[in-house]
Amino acid sequence: MSKLFESIKLGSLTLANRIVIAPMCQYSAEHGKATSWHHAHLGQLSFSGAGLLILEATAVEDVGRISPQDLGLWNDETEEAMASLVTSLRENSDIPLGIQLGHAGRKASCYAPWEGGTQISAKLGGWQTVAPSAVGFADTDNAPEAMSLERISALKQAFVDSAKRADKLGFDLIELHGAHGYLLHQFLSPLSNQRTDQYGGSLENRMRLLLEIYQELRQVFSANKPIGVRISATDWVPGGWDVEQSIELSKALEKLGCSYIHVSSGGLSTQQKIAVGPNYQVPFAQSIKQAVDIPVIAVGLITEPEQAEAIVSTGQADMIALARGVLYNPRWPWHAAAKLGAKVSAPKQYWRSEPHNVKGLFDVK
């Protein structure tokens, strides 16, 4: 029996298997509103047979967008567009749907990757970014505005408001984005957080904002629905955020009832030096899993079914997440089930596609 295709619970949500489709920015929204691209993109992924589909990083404020084309959920217009998207997905698939709520902080106001990804100047339609401290991401960036306590309070309310909208829309899960150098990660790392108040300095202070936001989301999102957190386990820069601090954060989140930890790395500093290769981030997930009892998701060049099976069957992580690999092969879970002798969910309209040599692949109900 394949461990990868065993069910697992995140809080009270049961997933059919341990394959997660990770949030992947599409830079294809209009003023924060989901477009036909999102219907097509997420529609095909909803047929993948994965246990969970998490929508891309969704900004809780307009100034929290990475690019002008980022998805958002901060007003009635963005909620209405998201409602149409969710309805479309629900009509054709029963895959559990999550949404990742985030804020880009000092990494906001940038062009889409295929347009260079650099910061957009105010004269060309960019906007003033915010951060824990007035320290830019790149040397060429305009300095972000250091957030006042009042501004931090407004940020927390923005996360709460977006979580309420997500709950009303029927999302099964929220993932709080504390990774990849975006705002909550900026508060965590001493490289970007140079504050001297209660949100800076000590590890306890640098973790404070993320933990406060988690607690506030937990109060407004339905109690029977899980909330997890994505983190970057390390900045890959000496003196920055690291695995030891990530373990302490994960322990603190576990005490607060967090449903899972989704472990990535990097994204905070242009000085990062990353040795990329198959499973290159899995050891971070393994270290955190050894320290907490809640589920841990591993990522990082996981491309082969046997590779994913080994990660979960040996206890390095409880689940694996796919991003670019599932864009390249949107039926990855089908192919993995065929390789590992497991069953997978598929739309009835596709049952006839089952190859003769893997009869019984589709979980026909």
| Cα-based distances in Å from 339 to 4, 248, 356 | 12, 38, 14
Are residues 193 and 206 in contact, defined by beta-carbon separation less than 8 angstroms? yes
Ramachandran angles phi, psi of 53, nearest 5°? -120, 120
182 counts as catalytic = yes
Torsion from C-alpha of 140, 24, 39, 261, nearest 10 degrees:
-130
Question: Measured between alpha carbons, how far is 148 from 223 in angstroms, rounded to an integer?
Answer: 31
> Whose CA is closest to 222, among 303, 165, 277?
165
Structure tokens at 271: 């000085």
Reported as type and span, the H/E element at residue 57 is strand 52-59
Structure tokens at 232: 């970057």
Reported as type and span, the H/E element at residue 69 is none
Are residues 147 and 280 in contact, defined by beta-carbon separation less than 8 angstroms? no
Quote the distance between the C-alpha of residue 107 and its chain's center: 16
Range list of H helices, 143-189: 149-169, 183-188
Helix-helix angle 243-255:282-289, to 10 degrees: 50
Ramachandran angles phi, psi of 87, nearest 5°? -60, -45
Structure tokens at 68: 């002008």
Question: Annotated catalytic residue: which of 27, 111, 182, 260?
Answer: 182
**Catalytic (active-site) positions:** 182
